[in-house]
Structure 1
Amino acid sequence: MTAPGEAARRKPARRPTIKDIARRAGVSESAVSFALNDRPGVSQDTRARVRRVAEELGWQANSAARALSGEHAGALGLVLARPAQTLGVESFFLQLVSGIQEVLSVRRIALLFQVVEDLDAECALYRRWWAERRVDGVLVVDPRTEDPRPELLAALGLPAVVIGGPAAPGPATAEPTAAHPQPPLSTVWADDSEAMARVLDHLHGLGHRRIVHVAGLPGLAHTERRISSLRTEAARRGLDARRVRSVTTDYSDAEGANATRRVLDAPEPPTAIIYDNDVMAVAGASVAAGRGIPVPDRLSIVAWDDSALCRVTHPRLTALVRDTPGFGRLAAQELLTVLDGGPPRTVQGEQPHLEARESTGPCPAG
């Protein structure tokens, strides 16, 4: 039998209301509303007393009520339209969100995160958030080469920052120019083309001439930039386009492994493979080991994103190292700047560097 005192202790605490604040502060409920919403009609002493009592009671404004009154929702949105099976294994988004959250927590702003099945569902969610005033702005990830989201968000008047940039972003500048007019939405981007050039420089310098790029999802702006850069850099070095090529996947370890099997079964298998994330690179190394292909003696492997996986795998994987949490912080800060009245602009993130480890070596003879 439960004792009365124990039942009382188990009862959920009641959230304080404006009536509770008014009773303790000895003022009317309308005076509390004026004081908490920083409106005229009460003295400075009353305003200070009401706010002190509200803090003592742990009172917080209701987000729905704030939205209905035209105030800020106190939240930013992030929607991810990706295959669900890739989310649990790819570390990039966890690191990105940690950087975003680091900035938002200082301003006590919440991050509303949702996973949807496709781009149509993402656009529908933006419309609902806008209609319900659920968020003050959104962070847009995975920009597409054909992307309806910037136009939709601009039409809704919903502030946004695109993380990853368009297929061919302009220079990192806060001022519009004739060649690069003012963008409709702010963008933070990383130079994938330059990063690919660094990877190819490394492999070409080791003598590799048959190179396969196991890319991510087709249609994503950064996937297309990397594929295009590989072709451009290969041509600049006089490499045969039939021997330097890209294949697309869904970023998962399963598709990374399947792609590795296919390219290794080709009449002229690659001597080096570039993977668009760490998970696929580790899966590819496992396929090579299962076939008795030593890394790097017969096959060199490069991972686009560095992670703990790359550093604990044997041999350790050569990888592009970048500050992904810092990229998230940059995006969040840019959105806050827009919300504070700043103009949309294009901002370039820190350039990644290639860290050569044991998974890359000289091209094998023959």
Structure 2
Amino acid sequence: MNGKKSATQRVTIREMADRLGVSVASVSYALNGRPGVGDATRERVLALAEELGWHPSSSARALSRSRTDTIGMVLRRDPELLGQEPYYMSLLSGVESVLSEARQSLMLRMVGTQPGRDLDVYRQWSAERRVDGVIVLDRLIDDPRPHLLRSLGMPFVMHGLRVEPETGRQVVEDLVTDAHVLVDHLAALGHTDIIDLTGPLALAHEVERRRAIADRAAVHRMRVTVAEGDYTLDAAERLVSHRLADWGPATAVISSNDVMALGVIRALRAAARTDVALVSWDDSMLCELSVPSITSLARRTGEQGRRSARTLLRTIAGEEQPSEDAIPSELIVRETSIPRR
């Protein structure tokens, strides 16, 4: 079998399996980007597919499995603000890289912050059978989405963690360790009074971060003042500008994202404060290009997106989930790591 077959001589998966001396299942897993096949076999299958000009019929594949080959994501953020947050661009690129390899599509909706609009989207998708499953972002305290999605029979993954029958849940990002890294860094610089500039405290991960920072600060006998932000630059600048005088002895700020960290920089510059250290939970080019450049945690957001996408595809396929350690973060030390004066 040399050269590419014509459309009327379309090669089958079984023919490819016979030629390579592997199982039909192995060929199917490799072509569809699914786990269950070794890297060497996957490479052989993909090389043969390219040689033969083989491409799957997505419509036939979806119909044969009663699937859409599409996963969904609903972002509860204002669309005009989304472009300001490098976090989501990195996350989405990770998700897309896995879906592209698996020949899956992504359906993305941005619904703003009005309560319940995301739930309506899930109901609509379920009724119209638009997606095979969803990745759920921004976990809430008493989040209604898991209950709704289970009632709809829609597979889902909560980004940042996933549920396993044996262990309960497995955290994808280790918020406690990350909080320790940030607080320990400021303690090493001599700071004893810090501001924890959080995101909205209706979000579960923000509450977990706040607790972890407070617990670690107590070990160092550091004082922590919590200020709740909304992830935007302008709001962070206003908050810090209005309250900086009240914070008195505070000499360091932990910002919950890179965008708010820029707002902190603006407020400190306007107040002619050059003695305040600043660290951010999120690293991005914003932190690198800021003046001064901002110390931040590189949390491998793209890899987090890839892991959530792989987990969801395995969930949809009913495959066993491998045990995986939390994705480690790295502290990138820059100019805002200012020692206490």
> Is 2:305 aligned against 1:328?
yes
Identify if the C-alpha distance between structure 1 residues 59 and 318 changes in structure 2 by more than 3 Å, giving closer, same or farther.
closer
Q: What is aligned with 2:99?
A: 104
Q: What is aligned with 1:351?
A: 328
What amino acid sits opposite 2:173 in the alignment?
Answer: A
Matches within 5 A, 1:61-76: 71-76=66-71
Q: What is aligned with 1:4?
A: none
> Is 2:151 aligned against 1:155?
yes
How far 1:194 sits from its partner (Å)? 1.3
Alpha-carbon distance in 1 for matches of 2:257, 2:299: 12
> Is 2:191 aligned against 1:211?
no
**Quick one: which of 229, 252, 256 aligns to 1:249?**
229
- Paired residues in the alignment total 296
Q: What is aligned with 1:43?
A: none
Q: Is the 8 A contact 1:210 1:271 kept in 2?
A: yes
SS of the aligned residue for 1:357 comes to coil
Question: Taking every aligned residue pair, what percent have the same amino acid on both sides?
Answer: 31
Q: What is aligned with 1:115?
A: 110
SS of the aligned residue for 2:75 comes to strand
Q: Deviation digits for residues 229-275 of structure 1, max 9, x if unmatched? A: 122112222234xxx12211110001111121133121515200111
SS of the aligned residue for 2:331 comes to strand
Q: What is aligned with 2:296?
A: 319
What amino acid sits opposite 1:256 in the alignment?
Answer: A
> Is 2:253 aligned against 1:276?
no
How far 1:150 sits from its partner (Å)? 1.0
Matches within 5 A, 1:40-51: none
Q: What is aligned with 2:283?
A: 306
Q: Is the 8 A contact 2:194 2:222 kept in 1?
A: no
Q: Deviation digits for residues 178-230 of structure 1, max 9, x if unmatched? A: xx44x6xxx65311121111111010111111100111112111110111112
What amino acid sits opposite 2:175 in the alignment?
Answer: D
How far 1:360 sits from its partner (Å)? 1.2
Identify if the C-alpha distance between structure 1 residues 96 and 131 changes in structure 2 by more than 3 Å, giving closer, same or farther.
same
Q: What is aligned with 2:182?
A: 199
Alpha-carbon distance in 1 for matches of 2:87, 2:131: 24
Q: Deviation digits for residues 129-161 of structure 1, max 9, x if unmatched? A: 111110011001101121011111122221111
SS of the aligned residue for 1:79 comes to strand
The answer to which of 334-343 and 140-149 deviates more is 334-343
Alpha-carbon distance in 2 for matches of 1:146, 1:127: 19
SS of the aligned residue for 1:138 comes to strand
Task: Please provide the CA RMSD for this pair.
Answer: 2.9
How far 1:83 sits from its partner (Å)? 3.4
Identify if the C-alpha distance between structure 1 residues 223 and 139 changes in structure 2 by more than 3 Å, giving closer, same or farther.
same
TM-score between the two structures when normalised by the length of structure 2: 0.78
Which has the larger Rg?
1
SS of the aligned residue for 1:265 comes to helix
Identify if the C-alpha distance between structure 1 residues 255 and 345 changes in structure 2 by more than 3 Å, giving closer, same or farther.
farther
SS of the aligned residue for 2:116 comes to helix
SS of the aligned residue for 2:161 comes to coil
Alpha-carbon distance in 1 for matches of 2:147, 2:324: 20
TM-score between the two structures when normalised by the length of structure 1: 0.73
Q: Is the 8 A contact 2:192 2:221 kept in 1?
A: no
Q: Is the 8 A contact 1:76 1:136 kept in 2?
A: yes
SS of the aligned residue for 2:143 comes to coil
**Quick one: which of 69, 72, 76 aligns to 1:77?**
72
**Which runs of structure 1 show a deviation greater than 4 angstroms over 4 or more consecutive aligned residues?**
58-63, 343-348
> Is 2:245 aligned against 1:262?
no
The answer to which of 103-112 and 261-270 deviates more is 261-270
Identify if the C-alpha distance between structure 1 residues 188 and 156 changes in structure 2 by more than 3 Å, giving closer, same or farther.
farther
Q: Is the 8 A contact 1:163 1:188 kept in 2?
A: no
What amino acid sits opposite 2:152 in the alignment?
Answer: L
Alpha-carbon distance in 1 for matches of 2:199, 2:134: 24
Structure 1, unaligned runs of 5 or more? 1-23, 27-31, 37-54
